[in-house]
C-alpha cells in the first residue's frame, strides 16, 4: 500500500513546516488572526499574576456585595408594599 504524502504548509513568520489545515504555527504561535506576528511581537506575559499567589484566605469579616444588594432590594420592595 502506497501512502500519499501529507500536504504541508509553512509559517510565513518563522518558516516552520507543519501539517496542512492547522490554524496556527506550532513553533511560534502565529496565526491569521494575529497577523502572523513574530515571537517577539506576541505578548505572552499579558496576564498579570499577583506577587502573593495563591491569594490570602478571607478573614470571614467581608460582607459579600450580592448579600448587600439582595437586602437593599428586599427593603425597597417592602417599602413599596407598605407605602402604597
Please give the model's pTM, rounded to 2 decimal places.
0.35
> Which residue is listed with cell 496565526?
31
| 18 found inside a domain | yes
| 57 found inside a domain | no
Residues 6 or more apart whose Cβ sits within 8 Å of residue 16:
10, 25, 26, 27, 28
CA 15, CA 9: separation in Å to the nearest integer? Answer: 9
At residue 78, the pLDDT reads 93
Q: Cα 70 to the chain's mean position, in Å?
A: 30
Count of structural domains within the chain: 1
From first to last of the 84 residues of the chain, give the pLDDT tens digit: 566 667 888 887 778 888 888 888 888 777 777 666 655 665 655 566 667 766 677 676 767 888 899 999 999 999 999 987
Task: Identify the domain containing residue 25 by its residue range.
Answer: 7-41
At residue 81, the pLDDT reads 92
CB atoms within 10 A of CB 53: 6
Amino acid at each position: 500500500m502506497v501512502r500519499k504524502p501529507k500536504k504541508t504548509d509553512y509559517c510565513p513568520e518563522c518558516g516552520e513546516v507543519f501539517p496542512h489545515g492547522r490554524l496556527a504555527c506550532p513553533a511560534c504561535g502565529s496565526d491569521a488572526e494575529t497577523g502572523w506576528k513574530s515571537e517577539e511581537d506576541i505578548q505572552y506575559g499579558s496576564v498579570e499574576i499577583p506577587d502573593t499567589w495563591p491569594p490570602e484566605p478571607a478573614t470571614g469579616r467581608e460582607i459579600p456585595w450580592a448579600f448587600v444588594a439582595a437586602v437593599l432590594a428586599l427593603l425597597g420592595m417592602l417599602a413599596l408594599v407598605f407605602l402604597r
